[in-house]
């Protein structure tokens, strides 16, 4: 028996990120929770403000649905360390919405960085 899911079901999850993420942080190591990923947290290196317009829902590259996260430049680095994870946060409700790995990059406090555009994709279920 096959499996199916309507795009509207996948969009609910992606819209949670799109509508509630107001901060993207660069972290050293995978943050275990909101506090670790947020400004001043144990994994925190840099942050940039996010808005609904920084996210765009569309069909997935493979199947299902995706939300594209806009590129950001001129991000001030607050702490020196190796940035290897990116976290999306909802600071209003203190929620760590999403964490992903990133290309490892040595960062120095006082410098700036650019994060290229990237996607979060939820594929359709398969047999």
pTM summary value: 0.95
Domain count for the chain: 1
| Position 104 in a domain | yes
| Position 103 in a domain | yes
C-alpha 73/C-alpha 97 separation (Å) is: 22
Is it the case that residue 126 has pLDDT exceeding 90?
no
| Position 1 in a domain | no
Is it the case that residue 127 has pLDDT exceeding 70?
no
Residues 100-112, mean pLDDT to the nearest whole number = 98
How many angstroms separate the first and last alpha carbons of the chain? 8
Please give the residue range of the domain that contains residue 85: 7-121
| Position 90 in a domain | yes
| Position 127 in a domain | no
* Cα angle 71, 119, 4; round to 5: 160
């Amino acid at each position: 028996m096959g499996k199916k899911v309507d795009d509207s079901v996948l969009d609910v999850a992606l819209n949670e990120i799109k509508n509630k993420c107001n901060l993207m942080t660069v972290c050293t190591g995978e943050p275990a929770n909101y506090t670790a990923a947020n400004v001043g947290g144990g994994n925190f290196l840099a942050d940039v403000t996010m808005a609904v317009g920084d996210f765009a829902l569309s069909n997935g590259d493979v199947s299902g649905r995706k939300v594209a996260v806009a590129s950001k430049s001129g991000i001030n680095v607050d702490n020196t360390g190796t940035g290897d994870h990116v976290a999306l946060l909802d600071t209003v409700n203190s929620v760590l919405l999403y964490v992903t790995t990133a290309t490892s990059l040595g960062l120095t406090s006082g410098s700036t960085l650019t994060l290229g555009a990237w996607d979060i994709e939820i594929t359709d279920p398969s047999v």
